[in-house]
């Protein structure tokens, strides 16, 4: 029997993570590159980056493009414009040298990994936010993911922006000052709070990943009991729960408890987001469950289901999931 190889990619604004495995789930290579945002760049620059990524991955795996039985790219922004989606597929297919390829939104591989392709809803909250679900009848739907500029509520960027806005309000007296105010003053060495306008502009400099990174930095304020930060995380959980509620109305989970899982950097904060989010999901009649696998394993599963079925696919994902860091 000819050996099969599958490649998965979890691609977003923060990073592009790759993995290649064989049909048993043994992972040949994992590789990470800086994030890409197709909507904020050009097709040419995106294509050059994809070719460079692919060359690095295949060199490390010691295989050729033609040996990839199937590949799956779960990308933020995919599906949010006909020409964008067509261009993304064409560029990746050209780099790969064949069209044994699935390109989908990153919410799909998040669902595939978190719920091991079983009925339910998966919420992704990283740099941005989106939710995707499938029911037992094969129906699928998504909610959120309307862009960092105009939506993506409950994401790491959204949390960071809410914290920045809270600093503004505390600085000019619209809100009482909390630990948050002192933290921003010290973090950005502000002699005058008005200087923060230039400081935060220079720090972010149009880079959404840098904006999202502030969410991780303010986590100690939550542990310290800052009421403003705690309220921001509560609101983030409520926003993410609204995505689930929207999909609950679109899909059918009658006669079963709606399973909801999650992935993305915001959830790595632990109880600050998981506790209020779990409460919100229970209020919807659902159950919050730990993700079975990560999105990268989910991408390998999406690729492999074009060649493997049933128990063979499950075993492949089990092994790949255990080997992917």
**Which superfamily is assigned to 5-114+293-323 in CATH?**
ATPase, nucleotide binding domain (3.30.420.40)
Interatomic CA distance for residues 253 and 88, integer angstroms? 33
Q: What is the pLDDT of residues 52-61, one digit of tens each?
A: 999 999 999 9
Strand 129-134 relative to strand 140-144, pairing: antiparallel
CB-count burial class (<10 Å; 0-12, 13-18, 19+) for 90: middle
pLDDT at 296: 95
Q: What is the mean pLDDT of each run of 10 residues along the chain (325 residues)?
A: 91 90 97 81 85 96 96 87 84 94 92 91 92 93 89 95 96 96 95 92 88 93 96 98 97 93 92 97 97 94 90 93 90
The boundaries of every CATH 3.30.420.40 domain in the chain are 5-114+293-323, 145-290
CA 128 to chain centre: 7
Q: What is the pLDDT of residues 127-179, one digit of tens each?
A: 889 999 999 998 999 999 888 888 899 999 999 999 999 999 999 999 999 99
pLDDT at 71: 98
The pair of structure tokens assigned to 303 is 């690729």
The pair of structure tokens assigned to 67 is 């040996």
Reported CATH class of domain 145-290: alpha beta
pLDDT at 1: 63
pLDDT at 289: 96
């Amino acid at each position: 029997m000819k050996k099969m190889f599958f490649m998965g990619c979890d691609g977003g604004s923060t990073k592009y993570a790759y993995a290649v495995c064989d049909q048993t789930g043994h992972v040949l290579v994992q590789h990470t590159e800086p994030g890409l945002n197709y909507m904020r760049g050009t097709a040419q620059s995106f294509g050059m980056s994809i070719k460079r990524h692919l060359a690095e991955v295949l060199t490390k795996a010691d295989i050729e493009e033609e040996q990839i039985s199937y590949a799956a790219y779960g990308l933020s922004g995919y599906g949010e414009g006909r020409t964008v989606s067509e261009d993304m597929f064409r560029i990746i297919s050209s780099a790969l040298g064949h069209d044994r390829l699935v390109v989908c939104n990153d919410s799909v591989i998040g669902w595939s990994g978190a719920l091991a392709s079983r009925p339910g809803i998966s919420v992704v909250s990283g740099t941005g936010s989106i939710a995707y679900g499938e029911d037992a009848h094969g129906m699928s739907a998504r909610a959120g993911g309307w862009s960092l500029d105009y939506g993506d509520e409950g994401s790491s960027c959204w949390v960071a922006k809410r914290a920045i806005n809270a600093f503004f309000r505390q600085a000019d007296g619209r809100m009482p000052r909390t630990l948050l105010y002192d933290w921003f003053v010290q973090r950005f060495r502000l002699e005058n709070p008005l200087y923060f306008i230039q400081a935060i502009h220079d720090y972010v400099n149009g880079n959404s990943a840098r904006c999202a990174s502030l969410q991780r930095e303010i986590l100690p304020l939550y542990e310290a009991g800052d009421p403003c930060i705690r309220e921001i995380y509560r609101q983030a959980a409520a926003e993410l729960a609204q995505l689930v509620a929207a999909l609950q109305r679109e899909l059918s989970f009658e006669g079963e408890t709606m399973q909801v899982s999650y992935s993305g950097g915001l959830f790595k904060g632990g109880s600050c987001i998981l506790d209020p989010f779990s409460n919100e999901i229970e209020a919807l009649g659902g159950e919050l469950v730990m993700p079975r696998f990560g999105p990268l394993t989910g991408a390998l599963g999406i690729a492999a289901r074009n060649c493997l079925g049933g128990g063979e696919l499950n075993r492949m994902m089990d092994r790949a999931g255990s080997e992917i860091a």
